[in-house]
Amino acid sequence: MKNIAVTVTISLALSAALYFGGESLHQFAYYVKMTMAILAMMAILLGGVKGEAAQTTRDHVWVNTASTGISLAALIATGHPGLAAFEFVVSALIVEIAFSEKAKASEVAK
């Protein structure tokens, strides 16, 4: 739970920096969010959503969903709908892969 609290806090801080920050803070938050989204997509493509990572995602899906929603709202409100769309797709893929891992584990157990 500690790791989730840290990641949600960072996400909310970046969203606040996008929405309320000055020009340089806004740009910083934008580039950090873009880099994080690209790294998340790389993790998806390299099979990084398995095992414990998938279990953590499943366990905290509602917290992550709320955090992602706030992040998407901040990106859209500040004029970055392209990054918001990319972040949405990446988040949806992570959740889908995490739950498909659970389904695969259930099939193997039978």
Q: What pLDDT sits at residue 83?
A: 97
Q: What pLDDT sits at residue 101?
A: 78
Confidence of residue 109 (pLDDT cuts 50, 70, 90): low
Q: Of 23 and 102, which is predicted with more confidence? A: 23
Query: At which residue do the structure tokens 């806090």 appear?
Result: 9
Q: Decide: 49 and 101 in contact? Cβ < 8 Å.
A: yes
Return all residues near 88 (Cβ < 8 A) that are at least 6 apart. 68, 72
Range 40-60 average pLDDT: 90
In DSSP notation, 34-102 reads HHHHHHHHHHHHTT-S-HHHHHHHHHTHHHHHHHHHHHHHHHHHTT-HHHHHHHHHHHHHHHHHHHHHH
| pLDDT at residue 25 tops 70 | yes
